Structure 1
Amino acid sequence: MSEIPNNSKISSHVDGAYFADCHATVIPYENQSALDTFLQQAREMPGWINALMSLRNKAVSRLGLKNLGSFADVEQGKASADYKVGDRVGIFTLYENTHHEVILEDQDKHLGVRLSFFIEPEAGGTAKVHATTVVHVNNTLGKVYMFFVAPVHKVIVPATLKRLNA
Protein backbone atom coordinates (compact mmCIF):
# COMPACT_ATOMS: atom_id res chain seq x y z
CA MET A 1 0.00 0.00 0.00
CA SER A 2 1.14 3.57 -0.59
CA GLU A 3 0.20 7.03 0.64
CA ILE A 4 -2.70 8.85 -1.00
CA PRO A 5 -1.08 11.73 -2.91
CA ASN A 6 -1.95 15.11 -1.37
CA ASN A 7 -2.12 16.71 -4.83
CA SER A 8 -4.74 14.20 -5.96
CA LYS A 9 -8.34 15.43 -5.98
CA ILE A 10 -9.48 12.20 -4.30
CA SER A 11 -7.55 13.25 -1.18
CA SER A 12 -10.31 15.78 -0.43
CA HIS A 13 -12.81 12.89 -0.10
CA VAL A 14 -10.87 10.97 2.57
CA ASP A 15 -12.08 12.88 5.64
CA GLY A 16 -14.61 10.78 7.54
CA ALA A 17 -14.12 7.75 5.27
CA TYR A 18 -14.82 4.32 6.68
CA PHE A 19 -12.21 2.81 4.33
CA ALA A 20 -9.45 4.36 2.23
CA ASP A 21 -6.46 2.82 0.57
CA CYS A 22 -4.02 3.53 -2.21
CA HIS A 23 -1.85 1.22 -4.30
CA ALA A 24 0.67 2.40 -6.87
CA THR A 25 2.76 1.07 -9.72
CA VAL A 26 5.06 2.48 -12.38
CA ILE A 27 3.90 2.13 -16.00
CA PRO A 28 5.27 2.95 -19.44
CA TYR A 29 3.97 6.44 -20.15
CA GLU A 30 3.19 8.00 -23.52
CA ASN A 31 0.97 10.83 -22.23
CA GLN A 32 -2.10 8.61 -21.94
CA SER A 33 -4.85 9.98 -19.72
CA ALA A 34 -5.84 8.61 -16.34
CA LEU A 35 -9.12 7.44 -17.90
CA ASP A 36 -7.18 5.67 -20.67
CA THR A 37 -5.22 3.86 -17.98
CA PHE A 38 -8.36 2.88 -16.06
CA LEU A 39 -10.03 1.65 -19.27
CA GLN A 40 -6.96 -0.44 -20.13
CA GLN A 41 -7.05 -2.00 -16.68
CA ALA A 42 -10.81 -2.67 -16.84
CA ARG A 43 -10.64 -4.17 -20.34
CA GLU A 44 -7.79 -6.48 -19.34
CA MET A 45 -9.33 -7.55 -16.03
CA PRO A 46 -8.44 -11.17 -15.24
CA GLY A 47 -11.29 -13.65 -15.53
CA TRP A 48 -11.03 -14.62 -11.86
CA ILE A 49 -11.88 -11.05 -10.83
CA ASN A 50 -14.92 -10.93 -13.10
CA ALA A 51 -15.95 -14.30 -11.63
CA LEU A 52 -15.68 -12.81 -8.11
CA MET A 53 -17.83 -9.87 -9.23
CA SER A 54 -20.45 -12.29 -10.54
CA LEU A 55 -20.41 -14.16 -7.22
CA ARG A 56 -20.65 -10.83 -5.36
CA ASN A 57 -23.65 -9.76 -7.46
CA LYS A 58 -25.49 -13.02 -6.76
CA ALA A 59 -24.76 -12.92 -3.02
CA VAL A 60 -25.67 -9.28 -2.37
CA SER A 61 -28.84 -9.30 -4.46
CA ARG A 62 -30.41 -11.31 -1.63
CA LEU A 63 -29.52 -8.50 0.78
CA GLY A 64 -31.03 -5.75 -1.33
CA LEU A 65 -27.76 -4.41 -2.74
CA LYS A 66 -27.60 -3.65 -6.43
CA ASN A 67 -26.00 -5.74 -9.13
CA LEU A 68 -22.98 -3.74 -10.29
CA GLY A 69 -22.32 -5.86 -13.35
CA SER A 70 -18.76 -6.67 -14.35
CA PHE A 71 -15.56 -4.84 -15.18
CA ALA A 72 -15.98 -6.49 -18.59
CA ASP A 73 -19.00 -4.21 -19.10
CA VAL A 74 -16.67 -1.38 -20.18
CA GLU A 75 -17.41 -0.62 -23.82
CA GLN A 76 -14.60 -2.15 -25.86
CA GLY A 77 -14.46 0.36 -28.71
CA LYS A 78 -15.30 3.56 -26.85
CA ALA A 79 -12.45 6.10 -26.61
CA SER A 80 -11.78 7.88 -23.34
CA ALA A 81 -12.51 11.25 -25.02
CA ASP A 82 -16.09 10.06 -25.68
CA TYR A 83 -16.89 9.71 -21.97
CA LYS A 84 -18.59 12.59 -20.17
CA VAL A 85 -19.17 13.18 -16.45
CA GLY A 86 -22.23 11.13 -15.46
CA ASP A 87 -21.57 8.37 -18.02
CA ARG A 88 -21.40 4.77 -16.90
CA VAL A 89 -17.86 3.33 -17.17
CA GLY A 90 -18.19 -0.38 -16.48
CA ILE A 91 -19.32 -0.79 -12.86
CA PHE A 92 -18.79 2.90 -12.03
CA THR A 93 -20.11 6.32 -13.00
CA LEU A 94 -17.69 9.01 -14.17
CA TYR A 95 -17.55 11.64 -11.41
CA GLU A 96 -14.59 13.81 -12.48
CA ASN A 97 -12.11 13.60 -15.32
CA THR A 98 -8.86 15.45 -16.01
CA HIS A 99 -5.86 14.28 -17.99
CA HIS A 100 -3.93 13.18 -14.89
CA GLU A 101 -6.81 12.02 -12.68
CA VAL A 102 -10.11 10.27 -13.15
CA ILE A 103 -12.54 9.77 -10.30
CA LEU A 104 -15.27 7.17 -10.70
CA GLU A 105 -18.01 6.43 -8.22
CA ASP A 106 -20.81 4.16 -7.17
CA GLN A 107 -23.38 5.46 -4.70
CA ASP A 108 -26.31 3.71 -3.05
CA LYS A 109 -28.21 3.93 0.23
CA HIS A 110 -25.64 1.72 2.00
CA LEU A 111 -22.34 3.23 0.93
CA GLY A 112 -20.55 5.58 -1.41
CA VAL A 113 -17.42 4.45 -3.24
CA ARG A 114 -15.01 6.68 -5.11
CA LEU A 115 -12.07 5.33 -7.08
CA SER A 116 -9.27 7.51 -8.43
CA PHE A 117 -6.58 6.74 -10.96
CA PHE A 118 -3.99 9.50 -10.56
CA ILE A 119 -0.96 9.68 -12.87
CA GLU A 120 2.32 11.33 -11.94
CA PRO A 121 4.64 11.48 -14.98
CA GLU A 122 8.29 10.67 -14.31
CA ALA A 123 11.45 11.10 -16.34
CA GLY A 124 12.39 8.41 -18.82
CA GLY A 125 8.98 7.61 -20.29
CA THR A 126 7.35 6.26 -17.13
CA ALA A 127 4.64 7.41 -14.76
CA LYS A 128 3.49 6.42 -11.33
CA VAL A 129 -0.18 5.42 -11.21
CA HIS A 130 -1.98 5.65 -7.88
CA ALA A 131 -5.24 3.70 -7.57
CA THR A 132 -7.07 5.12 -4.55
CA THR A 133 -10.37 3.86 -3.16
CA VAL A 134 -12.41 5.83 -0.64
CA VAL A 135 -15.58 4.42 0.93
CA HIS A 136 -18.11 6.22 3.10
CA VAL A 137 -20.68 3.92 4.71
CA ASN A 138 -24.22 5.09 5.40
CA ASN A 139 -25.52 2.29 7.60
CA THR A 140 -24.83 -1.06 9.26
CA LEU A 141 -25.32 -3.03 6.05
CA GLY A 142 -22.61 -0.91 4.43
CA LYS A 143 -20.25 -1.80 7.30
CA VAL A 144 -21.06 -5.51 7.02
CA TYR A 145 -20.49 -5.37 3.26
CA MET A 146 -17.10 -3.69 3.74
CA PHE A 147 -16.10 -6.29 6.34
CA PHE A 148 -16.16 -8.88 3.56
CA VAL A 149 -15.05 -6.70 0.65
CA ALA A 150 -12.07 -4.84 2.14
CA PRO A 151 -9.73 -7.87 2.41
CA VAL A 152 -10.56 -8.98 -1.14
CA HIS A 153 -10.10 -5.43 -2.42
CA LYS A 154 -6.56 -5.39 -0.99
CA VAL A 155 -5.72 -8.41 -3.17
CA ILE A 156 -7.53 -7.35 -6.36
CA VAL A 157 -6.17 -3.82 -6.75
CA PRO A 158 -2.45 -4.71 -6.60
CA ALA A 159 -3.03 -7.71 -8.88
CA THR A 160 -4.69 -5.55 -11.54
CA LEU A 161 -2.10 -2.78 -11.27
CA LYS A 162 0.71 -5.26 -11.93
CA ARG A 163 -0.86 -5.99 -15.31
CA LEU A 164 -0.51 -2.32 -16.33
CA ASN A 165 3.28 -2.34 -16.17
CA ALA A 166 3.73 -5.59 -18.06
Structure 2
Amino acid sequence: MALMMQMSMTPTKTAPRLPDPALPLADWADRYEIVVPARELTAIEAARLALGHFPRWVRVLMAIRNAAVAPFGLKSSGYHSPNTVEMIGLFPVLSQSAHQAVLGFDDHHLDFRIVVDVDDSPKGKTVGVTTLVRRKILFGRIYIAVITPFHNLIVSAMLSNVGRRLAGSETR
Protein backbone atom coordinates (compact mmCIF):
# COMPACT_ATOMS: atom_id res chain seq x y z
CA MET A 1 0.00 0.00 0.00
CA ALA A 2 2.84 2.41 0.80
CA LEU A 3 4.33 1.87 -2.65
CA MET A 4 1.03 2.78 -4.29
CA MET A 5 0.89 6.03 -2.35
CA GLN A 6 4.37 6.96 -3.57
CA MET A 7 3.54 6.27 -7.23
CA SER A 8 2.07 9.03 -9.29
CA MET A 9 -0.80 7.91 -11.47
CA THR A 10 -0.06 10.84 -13.75
CA PRO A 11 1.78 9.96 -16.96
CA THR A 12 4.83 11.98 -17.93
CA LYS A 13 5.64 13.13 -21.42
CA THR A 14 9.13 12.01 -22.42
CA ALA A 15 11.25 12.38 -25.54
CA PRO A 16 10.56 9.77 -28.22
CA ARG A 17 13.43 8.21 -30.12
CA LEU A 18 13.52 8.70 -33.87
CA PRO A 19 14.00 6.89 -36.08
CA ASP A 20 11.97 4.06 -34.60
CA PRO A 21 11.96 0.61 -36.23
CA ALA A 22 8.16 0.46 -35.90
CA LEU A 23 7.88 3.32 -38.44
CA PRO A 24 11.36 4.29 -39.67
CA LEU A 25 10.18 7.25 -41.76
CA ALA A 26 8.09 8.83 -38.99
CA ASP A 27 8.40 12.61 -38.93
CA TRP A 28 6.21 13.23 -35.88
CA ALA A 29 6.27 11.41 -32.55
CA ASP A 30 5.46 11.69 -28.90
CA ARG A 31 5.81 9.45 -25.89
CA TYR A 32 4.14 9.14 -22.51
CA GLU A 33 5.16 6.89 -19.62
CA ILE A 34 3.72 5.84 -16.29
CA VAL A 35 5.19 3.69 -13.54
CA VAL A 36 2.73 1.08 -12.29
CA PRO A 37 2.89 -1.40 -9.41
CA ALA A 38 5.19 -4.35 -10.05
CA ARG A 39 3.52 -7.44 -11.43
CA GLU A 40 3.88 -9.65 -14.43
CA LEU A 41 2.70 -7.50 -17.30
CA THR A 42 3.26 -8.00 -21.01
CA ALA A 43 3.09 -5.24 -23.58
CA ILE A 44 -0.02 -6.72 -25.19
CA GLU A 45 -1.76 -6.78 -21.78
CA ALA A 46 -0.77 -3.14 -21.24
CA ALA A 47 -2.07 -2.31 -24.73
CA ARG A 48 -5.39 -3.98 -23.94
CA LEU A 49 -5.66 -2.04 -20.68
CA ALA A 50 -4.81 1.26 -22.40
CA LEU A 51 -6.60 0.89 -25.73
CA GLY A 52 -9.28 -1.73 -25.15
CA HIS A 53 -11.89 0.41 -23.41
CA PHE A 54 -12.08 4.11 -24.11
CA PRO A 55 -13.99 6.43 -21.78
CA ARG A 56 -17.26 7.76 -23.19
CA TRP A 57 -15.81 11.23 -23.89
CA VAL A 58 -13.09 9.64 -26.06
CA ARG A 59 -15.67 7.57 -27.98
CA VAL A 60 -17.64 10.77 -28.63
CA LEU A 61 -14.50 12.55 -29.91
CA MET A 62 -13.69 9.57 -32.16
CA ALA A 63 -17.22 9.57 -33.60
CA ILE A 64 -16.90 13.29 -34.36
CA ARG A 65 -13.47 12.66 -35.92
CA ASN A 66 -14.79 9.82 -38.09
CA ALA A 67 -17.73 11.92 -39.31
CA ALA A 68 -15.46 14.90 -40.04
CA VAL A 69 -12.89 12.95 -42.07
CA ALA A 70 -15.28 10.64 -43.95
CA PRO A 71 -15.83 13.16 -46.80
CA PHE A 72 -12.06 13.16 -47.38
CA GLY A 73 -11.94 9.39 -47.85
CA LEU A 74 -9.88 8.73 -44.72
CA LYS A 75 -10.04 5.40 -42.96
CA SER A 76 -12.03 5.48 -39.78
CA SER A 77 -10.38 4.47 -36.57
CA GLY A 78 -11.06 0.81 -36.26
CA TYR A 79 -10.11 0.12 -39.85
CA HIS A 80 -9.78 -3.64 -40.35
CA SER A 81 -7.03 -4.73 -42.70
CA PRO A 82 -7.73 -8.07 -44.39
CA ASN A 83 -4.47 -9.34 -42.83
CA THR A 84 -5.28 -8.22 -39.28
CA VAL A 85 -5.09 -11.07 -36.81
CA GLU A 86 -6.13 -9.12 -33.72
CA MET A 87 -7.71 -5.79 -32.88
CA ILE A 88 -7.35 -3.92 -29.61
CA GLY A 89 -10.05 -1.33 -29.33
CA LEU A 90 -9.97 0.57 -32.60
CA PHE A 91 -6.50 -0.52 -33.70
CA PRO A 92 -5.07 -3.53 -35.53
CA VAL A 93 -2.14 -5.28 -33.83
CA LEU A 94 0.79 -5.38 -36.24
CA SER A 95 3.37 -7.13 -34.06
CA GLN A 96 3.96 -8.12 -30.47
CA SER A 97 6.56 -9.47 -28.09
CA ALA A 98 6.63 -9.69 -24.31
CA HIS A 99 8.02 -6.16 -24.04
CA GLN A 100 6.48 -4.38 -27.05
CA ALA A 101 3.20 -4.28 -28.97
CA VAL A 102 2.84 -2.31 -32.20
CA LEU A 103 -0.57 -1.23 -33.47
CA GLY A 104 -1.66 1.04 -36.30
CA PHE A 105 -2.27 1.26 -40.02
CA ASP A 106 -1.33 3.15 -43.16
CA ASP A 107 -3.60 5.60 -44.94
CA HIS A 108 -3.06 7.84 -47.95
CA HIS A 109 -2.54 11.00 -45.84
CA LEU A 110 -0.40 9.45 -43.09
CA ASP A 111 0.88 6.23 -41.56
CA PHE A 112 0.75 5.80 -37.81
CA ARG A 113 1.91 3.38 -35.18
CA ILE A 114 1.17 3.10 -31.49
CA VAL A 115 4.02 1.37 -29.70
CA VAL A 116 3.21 0.11 -26.21
CA ASP A 117 6.19 -1.12 -24.22
CA VAL A 118 6.74 -2.44 -20.71
CA ASP A 119 10.07 -2.33 -18.89
CA ASP A 120 11.21 -3.03 -15.34
CA SER A 121 11.84 0.00 -13.17
CA PRO A 122 12.96 0.37 -9.53
CA LYS A 123 9.38 1.15 -8.44
CA GLY A 124 7.52 -1.40 -10.58
CA LYS A 125 6.95 -1.46 -14.32
CA THR A 126 7.22 1.44 -16.71
CA VAL A 127 4.46 1.38 -19.32
CA GLY A 128 5.23 3.60 -22.30
CA VAL A 129 3.11 4.64 -25.26
CA THR A 130 4.89 6.10 -28.27
CA THR A 131 2.85 7.48 -31.14
CA LEU A 132 4.69 7.59 -34.47
CA VAL A 133 3.36 9.34 -37.56
CA ARG A 134 4.63 9.65 -41.09
CA ARG A 135 2.77 12.58 -42.64
CA LYS A 136 2.62 11.91 -46.38
CA ILE A 137 0.76 14.93 -47.72
CA LEU A 138 -0.25 18.42 -46.59
CA PHE A 139 -3.57 17.11 -45.29
CA GLY A 140 -1.65 14.74 -42.99
CA ARG A 141 0.25 17.69 -41.53
CA ILE A 142 -2.94 19.70 -41.03
CA TYR A 143 -4.71 16.70 -39.50
CA ILE A 144 -1.94 16.12 -36.93
CA ALA A 145 -1.83 19.83 -36.05
CA VAL A 146 -5.58 19.83 -35.40
CA ILE A 147 -5.79 16.61 -33.38
CA THR A 148 -2.60 16.94 -31.29
CA PRO A 149 -4.24 18.68 -28.28
CA PHE A 150 -6.95 15.98 -28.19
CA HIS A 151 -4.36 13.24 -28.73
CA ASN A 152 -2.37 14.48 -25.72
CA LEU A 153 -5.45 14.38 -23.48
CA ILE A 154 -6.49 10.94 -24.72
CA VAL A 155 -3.08 9.27 -24.33
CA SER A 156 -2.61 10.77 -20.88
CA ALA A 157 -6.08 9.57 -19.82
CA MET A 158 -5.45 6.08 -21.24
CA LEU A 159 -2.22 5.67 -19.30
CA SER A 160 -3.77 7.08 -16.12
CA ASN A 161 -6.48 4.43 -16.43
CA VAL A 162 -3.82 1.73 -16.77
CA GLY A 163 -2.17 2.99 -13.59
CA ARG A 164 -5.45 3.10 -11.67
CA ARG A 165 -6.53 -0.36 -12.85
CA LEU A 166 -3.22 -1.96 -11.94
CA ALA A 167 -3.03 -0.13 -8.60
CA GLY A 168 -6.55 -1.36 -7.86
CA SER A 169 -5.63 -4.95 -8.68
CA GLU A 170 -2.70 -4.75 -6.24
CA THR A 171 -5.02 -3.95 -3.33
CA ARG A 172 -7.27 -6.96 -3.88
TM-score norm. by structure 1 comes to 0.79
Q: Report matched runs for 1:79-94 at 5 Å.
A: 86-94=85-93
1:153 aligned partner: 151
The answer on whether the counterparts of 2:119 and 2:125 sit within 8 Å (CA) in structure 1 is yes
CA distance in 2, matches of 1:137, 1:40: 28
**SS of equivalent to 1:165:** helix
1:98 aligned partner: 97
The answer on whether the counterparts of 2:109 and 2:140 sit within 8 Å (CA) in structure 1 is yes
Report deviation, 1:3. 2.5
The answer on whether the counterparts of 1:33 and 1:99 sit within 8 Å (CA) in structure 2 is yes
The answer on whether the counterparts of 1:41 and 1:164 sit within 8 Å (CA) in structure 2 is yes
**SS of equivalent to 1:30:** coil
Report deviation, 1:163. 1.2
2:28 aligned partner: 19
The answer to whether residue 67 in structure 2 is matched with residue 58 in structure 1 is yes
1:39 aligned partner: 48
Rg larger in structure: 2
Q: Against the structure 1 CA distance between its residues 165 and 98, is the aligned structure 2 distance closer, same or farther, given a 3 Å change threshold?
A: same
Q: Percent of pairs identical after alignment?
A: 26
Provide structure 2 residue ranges, at least 5 long, that are not aligned to the other structure.
Answer: 1-12, 165-172
2:111 aligned partner: 112
CA distance in 1, matches of 2:132, 2:17: 13
CA distance in 2, matches of 1:113, 1:4: 14
TM-score norm. by structure 2 comes to 0.77
**SS of equivalent to 2:154:** helix
**SS of equivalent to 1:62:** helix
1:31-61 deviation digits (Å, cap 9, x = unpaired): 1211111111223321101110011001100
- Please, which of 68, 73, 85 is the counterpart of residue 77 of structure 2? 68
1:128-150 deviation digits (Å, cap 9, x = unpaired): 11100000011111112111112
CA distance in 1, matches of 2:31, 2:86: 24
The one-letter amino acid of 1:130's match is: G
CA distance in 1, matches of 2:32, 2:141: 22
The answer to whether residue 14 in structure 2 is matched with residue 2 in structure 1 is yes
1:79 aligned partner: none
